[in-house]
Amino acid sequence: MIATLLQLLLSYLKIGFFGFGGGYAMLSLIHSEVVVNNGWLTNGEFSDIIAISQMTPGPIALNSATYIGYEVAGVAGAVVATVAVCIPALTIMMLITRFFLKLHNNRYVASVVWCMRPVVVGMIASAALLLIFPHTDDGRSFIDGWSWAIFLLTLAASARKVNPILLIVLSGVAGIVIYGL
Amino acid sequence: MRELFEIFWSFLKIGAFTFGGGYAMIPLIQHEVITNRRWLAEKDFLDLLTLAQAAPGPIALNTAVFVGYKQRGYVGSLAAVAGVVVPSFTILLLVAMFFADIRNNQWVDAAFRGMRPAVVALIIAPIVGLTRGMHAAFVALAMAVAVVVWYFGISPVWFLVAGAAAGVALAAYRGKGVKR
C-alpha cells in the first residue's frame, strides 16, 4: 500500500512537472505513467476517465489525478495524486511570479516556449493516436463503423464550436441507442 | 484573513463552474479577477496568460498561484490553489466512488462505447488551431513526436527536455549575434 502511494506520488509529481501545454498535452504523459509504465489502468478505462473528466468541472489534469488516484489506492490515493500534481505548478509558478518582471521579456523564456510548441502539439496528437490505435486489445475506443461515424460527427461539430460537454452527452445517448437497445 | 477567504472563494467559483478546462475557463477568470475583484489590470492579464501557459501544469492552477501570490504572497497562493482544487476533488471523488458500482451496467457500458470515439475527436480538435501559423517544419516535427511517442511508447518527457534545451541554445546563439 505504502509502495503504491509512493509510486502514485512520484508519477503525479512527474506529470505535474512536465505538464506543459495544459490538459490535452498532459494526457499522453498521464497515459505513459498510468497505462504504460505502471499498468494501473487499461486503455479503455483511461478513455472512460477522460470522458468523465470532461463532463465534470475543473482542469482535466486535476480531475484525472483524483479519479485515477482513487482507482489505484482509494481515498488516500486520490489525496496523494491530487496534491502531487499541484506541487510542481505551485512551486514553479510561485518562482516565476516572484521574478515576474525580470523574466517578463527574457529571451531565454521566449525561445524555450517557442521551441516547445511543436512538442506540445505532438503530445496532444500522440494521446489521440494511443486511443485510436492502442497496442493492446483491451478496451478499444474504435470497435466498428459506428465508432468512426461518432468520431467524425464530433470532430465536425467541435470545429463549429459546439459545446464539448453537449457532444459527450449526445455521443453517450448514441451509444445507448446503438449498443444498448 | 478576510482577503484570504475572498481569494479562496473566488477560485472556488472558478473551479466549480469551468467545464472543459484550459481555454474555456479564461473568460470566467477574467470576469472574477479583473471585473469583480479588481485584483489585476487588463494589461497584466495578458502577461499572466503567457506565463501560465509557459509554466507546466493546468492553466487554472497557474493562474491561481499568480493572482494569490500577487495579493497575499505564499499564503495567498495556497488559498487560491485550495479554491481551485476543492470542487474538482470533491466531485471526482464522489463520481469515482459511485461509478465503480454502475460501470458494468449494460446501459452505462453502451453509453461509454459511444463516448470513447467522441473523446478522441475532442482531443484532436484543438490541434488545428494550434498548428495554424506554425512553420511547416514545426508541424512535421510535431507529427514525428506524436508517432514516436505512440509507436515506441517513449515518454514525451524526453522531447520536452530536448525542446527546452534547443530553446536555450537558440537564445544563447542569437544573443551572441546581437553583441557582435
Look up the ipTM and state it: 0.79
Do A6 and A91 have their domain in common?
yes
In chain A, % of residues over pLDDT 70: 94
Do A177 and A151 have their domain in common?
yes
* Final residue belonging to a domain, choices A101, A119, A137: A137
Do A70 and A155 have their domain in common?
no
Alpha-carbon span A37 to A23, nearest angstrom: 20
**Mutation choice for B interface testing from A171, A178, A181 by most B CBs within 10 A:** A171
* pLDDT score recorded for residue B179: 40
Q: Mean pLDDT throughout A17-24?
A: 79
What's the mean per-residue pLDDT of chain A?
Answer: 86
Angle at A67 between CA A62 and CA A68, to 5 degrees: 100
Alpha-carbon span A66 to B90, nearest angstrom: 9
| Mean pLDDT lowest among B100-104, B121-125, B141-145 | B100-104
- Any domain includes B166: no
A52-105 pLDDT tens trace: 887 788 888 898 899 999 999 999 999 999 999 999 989 988 888 887 656 556
Do A127 and A147 have their domain in common?
no
Do A55 and A132 have their domain in common?
yes
pTM: 0.80
| Mean pLDDT lowest among A25-29, A87-91, B17-21 | B17-21
* pLDDT band with cut points at 50, 70 and 90 for residue B180: very low
Do A147 and A130 have their domain in common?
no
Do A130 and A157 have their domain in common?
no
Residue ranges with strand state E in B93-144: none
Do A6 and A31 have their domain in common?
yes
Instruction: Test A118 with B128 for CB contact under 8 angstroms.
Output: no
Give the number of other Cβ atoms within 10 Å of residue B158's Cβ: 14
Q: Which residue of B has its CA nearest to A134?
A: B150
Q: Residue A46: which of A32, A62, A59 has the closest Cα?
A: A32
Angle at B95 between CA B55 and CA A35, to 5 degrees: 55
- Any domain includes B121: no
Question: A44 with B59: CB under 8 angstroms?
Answer: no
* pLDDT score recorded for residue B178: 47
Instruction: Test B123 with A127 for CB contact under 8 angstroms.
Output: yes
Alpha-carbon span B16 to A161, nearest angstrom: 22
* pLDDT band with cut points at 50, 70 and 90 for residue B60: confident
Nearest to B143 among A122, A173, A174 (CB): A122
Residue A76, classed as helix, strand or coil, is: helix
Cell of A153: 460527427
Q: How many domains does chain B have?
A: 1
Give the number of other Cβ atoms within 10 Å of residue A150's Cβ: 26
- Any domain includes B20: yes
Identify the sign of the CA torsion B17, B20, B22, B26. Answer: negative
| Mean pLDDT lowest among A18-27, A144-153, B70-79, B145-154 | A18-27
**Mutation choice for B interface testing from A46, A60, A121 by most B CBs within 10 A:** A121
Do A14 and A94 have their domain in common?
yes
Nearest to B21 among A60, A98, A146 (CB): A60
Do A7 and A79 have their domain in common?
yes
Cell of B121: 475527436
Most confidently modeled range among A150-159, B43-52, B102-111? A150-159
Question: B26 with B49: CB under 8 angstroms?
Answer: yes
Alpha-carbon span A31 to B157, nearest angstrom: 12
Instruction: Test A32 with B111 for CB contact under 8 angstroms.
Output: no
Distances (CA, A) of A68 to A33, A41, A46, B55, B82: 11, 8, 9, 24, 20
Q: Which residues are CB-contacts of A120 (< 8 A; sequence separation ≥ 6)?
A: A20, A21, A25, B130
Q: How many domains does chain A have?
A: 2
Do A161 and A125 have their domain in common?
no
Host domain of residue B44: 1-102
Do A130 and A166 have their domain in common?
no
- Any domain includes B162: no
Host domain of residue A101: 2-137
